[in-house]
Amino acid sequence: MKSRHSLIARTLGLSATFLLLHSTVPALAGEVEKAVEYRQGVMNVYSWNMKAMGDMMKGKTEFDKARFAAHAEELSNASKFKLMNGFPEDSESDESDALAEIWMDFEDFESKYQDFGSAAQALEKAAQGGDKGTMGAALKEAGKSCKACHKKYKN
């Protein structure tokens, strides 16, 4: 089971990296669909890792420090993606839950994303320490940073 999760995490990481390498294309070409696809792909990596760690903390799955740390590392790495490339001007779409408020206050949106990055990196550091309580507190902070952005900018 552990190797299956490892394979899934690596596959998601590679998929997100592929998307990252191609992230400048949507902004240059003005292809809204590709921008939406990119940002949703990155968000799926975040969601998958957050859910796995949350399930461990809630007792829905067995708590495993090494697996938690691997998810925290994956989240931290993914938080360094240039997600803003997936939100070029005029990239609103019915295929996306992104609200128009993003482009009305893009500086705040970017700031909230930077806060998420800081929280994800703090979570990775906490996971490296191995203390379950510290890991749980750091996960909670990362979750708060997600919610702060979603509350204002996601449908």
> Which residues participate in the annotated binding site for heme c?
146, 149-150
Instruction: Report how far residue 137's alpha carbon sits from residue 61's, in angstroms, rounded to the nearest whole number.
Output: 18
| Helix%, strand%, coil% for the chain, nearest 5 | 75, 0, 20
CB of 92 closer than 8 Å to CB of 98:
yes
Instruction: Report how far residue 30's alpha carbon sits from residue 116's, in angstroms, rounded to the nearest whole number.
Output: 27
Any bridge partners for residue 98, and if so which? 154
Two structure tokens written together for 151: 């509350």
